Structure 1
């Protein structure tokens, strides 16, 4: 993520409804790839969220049900939604569709991603109730205001002090409002354990490398603090009540269509970029073969390719 210490409310030139903060695009490439260039990943992030739309729709339907509980404001009373760590705004636009009475604010430290979010909202006819805000957790949310629903998906783990980030978000909830943190779940699987070449168990070994990368990424964050990642406890520790957790499956069975195969190819490309140097020679060769478009057993041609993953959503309510 880029470093923006404060968001402001000055409209950005040429972008209606854009809360514009100071930009500091200090993207770097370290040898261990733990510094993430979010702007360069824009298309990847957009494609990933589009691929997950069916699962995200399940999650937003669950939230609408929670908001109708007696202690909640009611789904029609949700007038303002914040998507914190919005990236290119795919989920922000899904939230705008799920809560048609609400103003939706996409919040992210990377201005190029917010430009894409605004463009998407405009294409979908949502521009009259869509805003963007440049800001970084936990200290860059000045001027953002409060909300009935705050959504943050896979963003809190990029903040050194996750408890402080949760507290910063909880402090912006209106009475009865919900904070939703999408963190954790089950890693994806896309291939049989033995898929015809390489050593069986390739995806399990790739997952182990990914976990090591994640630990290094967390340790390198400014102000990194170790914390037990008990998200319900983090939410209640920030003064929220009635914690709930629920996981939703993204189950895309074989055979996949061309767009779904492109998504998986992008995932494998990303794995090559970030993790290949930490794999042994045999697994690097397996990864290269999976990405070979001319190989009949590669990801673009094999009939048994699938996608199965789970994402967990943790929520709690302002008293």
Structure 2
């Protein structure tokens, strides 16, 4: 998911967070804070865990990008969060400079340290800026990766037009928005009422609508992303949905990520959960409970992410 006080997307993304967002869903911040009050730096560990759990899906998207932009010289990761995806892009395109743009310095510091640790420090640089205005003097980008960040901007149509303006001729805008809510537990988990995740999704949708409405300059927009890319002056190359299927028993990384998601939702959706569901989530998060996530053999991760590619004329 990254800082989105002014429209930054952290990877680690829907929406748990690619930054703050789980792929294909809209994740609420912890403890029910308003959007502007989210401490993204405090969430950095969970953002990293989410991005690492979703790494196989990110790799699929990178291959989709490679088909339309095989040798980019400059890639901008707009709303880069802790830099997991930034470094994946740098590793996949060894000829490219990758610029991580985010509004939280602590997350950019994590990005720089990760890049150095994996031997990419000479090609990854960071920029503290709000989006989309913070791209103004970067120069044209061959790829702008906009991972679950656009829905943090009030006027999405105007923002897309601004991002498109910063593409080099022939450059590609990679827009990650949409998909299906992730699943990580069976419908009936043996405690509480069956269908817990469906009820969490409904409460989450209410939260997301309220978050969008509270953004500065918020405008309602039909979420026809291909049409919006066209309105921004780009050719809509394709829309494709990618699948992440990590079956049970889940790895420790996936279990930690699922615990992050449930923990944030339990804190952020208190008013949307009844006492029974709240008690069930509490048991799932209890490391000493036999029915908790740490001990369950049925935890998995099944998610999708839809990607919309637009391209500027050469």
TM-score under structure 2 normalisation? 0.88
CA distance in 2, matches of 1:46, 1:33: 22
After TM superposition, give the deviation of residue 258 of structure 1 in Å.
2.4
Which residue of structure 1 aligns with residue 19 of structure 2? Answer: none
Which residue of structure 1 aligns with residue 189 of structure 2? Answer: 195
CA distance in 2, matches of 1:284, 1:54: 32
Change (3 A) 1:189 1:3: closer
After TM superposition, give the deviation of residue 137 of structure 1 in Å.
1.8
Q: Which has the higher strand share?
A: 1
For the pair shown, the structure with the greater C-alpha radius of gyration is 1
Which residue of structure 2 aligns with residue 50 of structure 1? Answer: 52
Cα pair 1:121 1:127 within 8 Å, conserved: yes
Cα pair 1:256 1:305 within 8 Å, conserved: yes
Other structure's SS at 1:189 match: coil
Which residue of structure 1 aligns with residue 23 of structure 2? Answer: none
TM-score under structure 1 normalisation? 0.87
Cα pair 1:236 1:243 within 8 Å, conserved: no
Change (3 A) 1:4 1:209: closer
Q: Considering only aligned residues, what root-mean-square deviation do their CA atoms show, in Å?
A: 1.8
Cα pair 2:170 2:311 within 8 Å, conserved: yes
Correspondent of 1:38 among 32, 40, 44: 40
Q: Does 1:237 align with 2:224?
A: no
CA distance in 2, matches of 1:210, 1:304: 23
Which residue of structure 2 aligns with residue 216 of structure 1? Answer: 210
CA distance in 1, matches of 2:205, 2:4: 23
Query: Any idea what the Cα deviations from partners look like across 1:8-59, whole Å, max 9, x if unmatched?
Result: xxxxxxxxxxxxxxxxxxxx99965433221211111111111100000011
CA distance in 2, matches of 1:242, 1:281: 46
Query: Any idea what the Cα deviations from partners look like across 1:249-307, whole Å, max 9, x if unmatched?
Result: 11110111223212211221111221133201111011111111122221111111111
Query: Any idea what the Cα deviations from partners look like across 1:199-239, whole Å, max 9, x if unmatched?
Result: 11110000000100101111111111110111111111000
Change (3 A) 1:51 1:30: closer
1:1-319 paired onto structure 2 within 5 Å: 1=3, 33-35=34-36, 36-67=38-69, 75-76=70-71, 78-319=72-313
After TM superposition, give the deviation of residue 165 of structure 1 in Å.
1.2
Mean Cα deviation higher: 246-255 or 33-42: 33-42
Instruction: For structure 1, list consecutive stretches of 5 or more residues without a partner in the other structure.
Output: 6-27, 68-74
Which residue of structure 2 aligns with residue 18 of structure 1? Answer: none
Moved over 3 A (4+): 1-5, 28-35
CA distance in 2, matches of 1:310, 1:217: 22
Change (3 A) 1:256 1:161: same
After TM superposition, give the deviation of residue 140 of structure 1 in Å.
2.7
Cα pair 1:178 1:318 within 8 Å, conserved: yes
Instruction: For structure 2, list consecutive stretches of 5 or more residues without a partner in the other structure.
Output: 8-28
CA distance in 2, matches of 1:294, 1:101: 49
CA distance in 2, matches of 1:262, 1:204: 21
Other structure's SS at 2:35 match: coil
Aligned length: 289
